[in-house]
Chains A and B, each alone.
Chain A
C-alpha cells in the first residue's frame, strides 16, 4: 500500500529511505514545512549548526571519513549562499554531499521575493548536478537521482532547490521511493579497458625508475588496499598527493611521503627523475607538477582515473585508463602476479635496486626533518613540527585528523603519518580556511568512538569558531590543536620569500583573543603550551582517558618565524625546491 505524504514529508522519508543518519542544517522561512516534517520523526537526527558554511563542511567531513554521502539542509537566500563555499570545497575534492536548499514558492521565483536567490544559478559552476523541484510529485525521483549522482563515478555535491509550495503540509501525494534510477545520459564506467590495462602492465614491468603517484581518487574510490597490494608486489616507491595521504601506509619504507609544493625532497626528486609515473586518482594539480612544461622530462605516464576529463588535462598521458581505481588496480595486480609467476625476472631487479639507492640517497641528504634538526635548540622555542609529532605519538597514529589551510596544514600533512585511508581530511582543492573544525565535527558524528583531532591555525580557526557552541550542544569530544603563530603564517611566509619580508596584512597587531579563555567560555577544556618540555605531558592528557569525553582546545604558541620546507620554486621543475632557511632567513630570489 502506498502512503499519502506531503511534499515535506516525502523529502524526509526519501532521506530515510536513502539510509541518511544525520542532516546538518539551519532553519528559515522557506524550509519550515520541512523542519516540521523532521520534528515529527525520529530516524534522522538533525544537527543544528551555527552557520550554514559549517553545515556543508560537517556533511563533507562525514562523507570523507565514511564514504557515505553527507546531507545538508538550509533555507533560501542567505542560508543557501552561506552554503556555497562548502559546496565548492566538496566539488574541488570530489566528495559526495547532497545539499537541500529552500526556495521561495514557484509562483514567486524570479520576482526578487524576500530571501530569493537563484541557487541553481549561483551554485552551477561548483556542483556535479542540481535540481529545482517544480512539483512535489518529483521529490522521490529527484532525491534518488541526487544521491546516485553524488556518490557514483567521480563523486561530487548535488543541490536540490526546494520551493516552499512543493513542501506544503496540506497537499498529499502517493509516496513510493524508486528502486532504481534511469539516466540515459549518465553511465559512469565500472571497469577499465583490458587492452589499456595490458599496456600499463607491460610499462610497469619494463620500468627502471618507476614512481606510483596516487591521489584522492584512491581514497574516494576505496582502492587503498588494492593499491597497497600492487605496490607491495612491485616494490615500487609510492608518493601521495595532499589528498591521497593514507592511500598507502605512511610508515612504510616504500613510502616517499607527500609530493608537490611542500612535498618531500625524495618524492619530488623521484618524480623528476622517473622513467615511469603511474598516476592513480590524481590530477596533476599545479601544486604537484610545478611548471608542467618542465614536468618529469623522461617519464612515460600511465594515468588511471574514473573521470575521463582528468586525463591529459594538464600532462599528456601515454597510457590513459578510464575506470574506478579499485577494480582497475585489482585487475592490474592480477595480471602482474601472473606475469611474475611466469617469469621470475619480469621486473628489472638491478635497475630497481639502483633506483632505490638513489632515492635513499635523497632521503638521507634531505629527510623531512632536516630543517628541524638543524634549528632545534637554536632558541628553545616550540616548533610546529614538534607539536604535530607529539599529536601523532599521543594518538598512536590512529586519529582522524582534519586541518585547515596554511602552514599548519602542511606540517600536519608532512608529520602525521597516516596508515589508513579516510583518516586525513582537509580541503586540498579549494583550500578553504574554516574547514577544519566543522569537518572534524562531521567526522566525530560518523565515528563517535574515534579520536578526532583538528590541527588548525588561529586564522583558520576564527573563521568557524562559532561551532564550538554546536560542539557543546552535541557533546563532541574533538581535540583542537591550534598551531598559534599569531599570523596568517602561510601568507607571511610568501611575503618573506617573495616580497622582501613586507608583511602586508598578515598579522593581527596583538588583537587575538585569549583562546584558552575563549574556548572555556563555550564550556570546553583548554590548555596553553609555550615550551617544548610541556608538550608531551599535555598531549598525553589531551588524548588520554582523562579527557575522553571532553572537547579539548590546545593553544600551542609556536615559533612564529617557522617556514614550511621544502617549497617548490615558482616556474621550476619538480626538483627545484627551496630546502631550508639560510642564516635564519630565506634566500630571497628574484625569480620566485
Chain B
C-alpha cells in the first residue's frame, strides 16, 4: 500500500541525510521525496511517499520519531488529504506536432513556459496519476526530458501539522 508521510524536521545540516539513511539502513523504500524550509525557517517539511503494510509504516514512523532532529511525523494517507506534484517536461514539437502537443497540454491544464522552434517546455501540476497520464498521452518519442518534484501533501481542512 502506498503511504504519504509528512515530516517536520529541524532545518539543520545533516538532518535530511539521517532520514534518508534510515530508509536505506532499514530496507524501506522511498518512492518520492520532497523537502523545503517552511515559513518557520528553523523547520523543514518533508513529504515522502513509500509503500508497505500497516505494521511496516508503523515501524517507519516510530524509527523516524527516534531521530533526534525529527520533530513530527504524520501519515497523511490516514485521513483526508491533498497531494500535488509539479512536473516540467520538454517535448519535441515540430510541424504538425506543435498543434497536437499544445492541445494535449490544454486538456491537462498545463502551461507552456518555454518555447523554441522545435520544442515546448510544459509545466503541469496535479496528482502523480495525472502527470503519468499526461506523459502517456504524448507520443513517447517526443518526450525529451522530464523532471518531477515528487509529491507534496497536506491534510484537508482543520488537520494542521505544526509544532
The segment from B68-76, B79-87, B113-121, B143-151 that touches chain A is B68-76
Q: How far is the CA of A130 from the CA of B17 in the complex (A)?
A: 12
Q: Check B141 for interface membership: any CB of A closer than 8 A.
A: no
Contact among B10, B18, B21, B55 for A312, CB-based, below 8 A: B55
Q: Mark A100-134, 1 if CB is under 8 A from B, else 0.
A: 00000000000000000000110011001110101
Q: Check B156 for interface membership: any CB of A closer than 8 A.
A: no
Q: Check A589 for interface membership: any CB of B closer than 8 A.
A: no
Q: Check A185 for interface membership: any CB of B closer than 8 A.
A: yes
Known: A125-B21, A184-B163, A185-B10. Is A312-B69 also a contact (CB below 8 A)? no
Q: How far is the CA of A121 from the CA of B62 in the complex (A)?
A: 22
Q: Is B25 a contact partner of A309 (Cβ separation < 8 A)?
A: no
Q: Check A549 for interface membership: any CB of B closer than 8 A.
A: no
Q: Check A186 for interface membership: any CB of B closer than 8 A.
A: yes
CB under 8 Å from chain A, chain B span 1-15: 10, 13-14
CB under 8 Å from chain B, chain A span 126-155: 128-130, 132, 134, 149
Closest B residue to A154 using CB positions: B66
Cβ of B62: which chain A residues have Cβ within 8 Å of it? Answer: 308-309
Q: Is A316 a contact partner of B17 (Cβ separation < 8 A)?
A: no
Q: Is A184 a contact partner of B14 (Cβ separation < 8 A)?
A: no
Contact among B58, B59, B68 for A185, CB-based, below 8 A: B68
A interface bracket (residues with beta carbon within 8 Å of B):
20 to 34
Q: How far is the CA of A316 from the CA of B58 in the complex (A)?
A: 12
Contact among A120, A183, A186, A309 for B59, CB-based, below 8 A: A309
Closest B residue to A129 using CB positions: B68
Q: Check B109 for interface membership: any CB of A closer than 8 A.
A: no
Q: Is B18 a contact partner of A309 (Cβ separation < 8 A)?
A: no
Q: Is B55 a contact partner of A185 (Cβ separation < 8 A)?
A: no
Cβ of A308: which chain B residues have Cβ within 8 Å of it? Answer: 62, 65
Q: Is A124 a contact partner of B17 (Cβ separation < 8 A)?
A: yes
Contact among A125, A130, A312 for B25, CB-based, below 8 A: A125
Cβ of A176: which chain B residues have Cβ within 8 Å of it? Answer: none
CB under 8 Å from chain B, chain A span 165-221: 183-186
Known: A124-B18, A312-B55, A316-B55. Is A184-B63 also a contact (CB below 8 A)? no
Cβ of A307: which chain B residues have Cβ within 8 Å of it? Answer: 66
Q: Is A120 a contact partner of B14 (Cβ separation < 8 A)?
A: yes
Q: How far is the CA of A277 from the CA of B69 in the complex (A)?
A: 35
Closest B residue to A153 using CB positions: B66
Q: Is A312 a contact partner of B58 (Cβ separation < 8 A)?
A: yes
Q: Is A309 a contact partner of B63 (Cβ separation < 8 A)?
A: yes
Closest-CB distance, A270 to chain B (whole angstroms): 27
Closest B residue to A125 using CB positions: B25
Q: Is B59 a contact partner of A313 (Cβ separation < 8 A)?
A: yes
Q: How far is the CA of A219 from the CA of B17 in the complex (A)?
A: 32
Closest-CB distance, B71 to chain A (whole angstroms): 4
Closest B residue to A121 using CB positions: B17
Cβ of A125: which chain B residues have Cβ within 8 Å of it? Answer: 21, 25
Q: How far is the CA of A313 from the CA of B62 in the complex (A)?
A: 10
- Which B residues are within 8 Å of any A CB, using their own CB? 10, 13-14, 17-18, 21, 25, 55, 58-59, 62-63, 65-66, 68-71, 163
30 contacts across the A-B interface (CB closer than 8 A): A120-B14, A121-B17, A124-B17, A124-B18, A124-B21, A125-B21, A125-B25, A128-B68, A129-B68, A130-B14, A132-B13, A132-B14, A149-B68, A184-B71, A184-B163, A185-B68, A185-B69, A185-B70, A185-B71, A186-B68, A307-B66, A308-B65, A309-B59, A309-B62, A309-B63, A309-B65, A309-B66, A312-B55, A312-B58, A316-B55
**Besides A185-B70, A309-B65, 5 other CB < 8 A contacts?**
A130-B14, A132-B13, A132-B14, A184-B71, A307-B66
Q: Which 8 A-B pairs have CB atoms at the shortest separation, nearest pair first?
A: A309-B62, A185-B71, A129-B68, A125-B25, A308-B62, A186-B68, A124-B21, A309-B63
